[in-house]
Amino acid sequence: MGDLVLLQEEVNPVMSALLDNGIDVTAFGRVDAEVKQARGANAEAILLYRNSVLHAAEDVEDSFSLLGRSEARGDEILIEIGALQRVRDRSLEAYQAGVIGLTDVLDAERQLLVAKDDLAWTP
């Protein structure tokens, strides 16, 4: 295949059209620099996006971890509440039988209320 050869009569209208439209036909270095700058800006935008996605994934992972710990803590508190309710009930029975004082019953009730408060504040 041969090279494309343009005669002067064919080049002048093309050059005139380019120049009339504000295209600088001698600024190849500047055009290359603008292309490189645009590619660099694109690469930077991609890196920023990837960084945002990684931070979002980290936040999701942290949230799931916190959720798991919160659910486990909630289960522990429910077990504690059950045990403290039994203690309070037995304390009340012992008080009614005259075996222990009222302060022991009130202390058992206080411990139960603290555990219920902990459950209410568990996320």
Confidence of residue 2 (pLDDT cuts 50, 70, 90): low
pLDDT at 112 over 60: yes
Question: Closest by alpha carbon to 120, among 108, 112, 64?
Answer: 112
Contacts of 17 (CB under 8 A, 6+ apart): none
Helices and strands, number each (H, E), in the chain:
3, 0
SS3 state at 45: helix
Query: Are the beta carbons of 77 and 94 closer than 8 angstroms?
Result: no
Percent of the chain with pLDDT over 90: 67
- Check residue 10 and give its pLDDT: 67
Domain-by-domain residue ranges, the chain?
A: 19-121
SS3 state at 87: helix
Confidence of residue 99 (pLDDT cuts 50, 70, 90): very high
- Give the predicted TM-score (pTM) of the model: 0.53
- Specify the amino acid at residue 55: H
User: For 32-85, how does the pLDDT look when each residue is reduced to its tens digit (9 = 90+)?
Assistant: 788 889 999 999 999 999 999 999 999 999 999 999 999 999 999 999 999 999
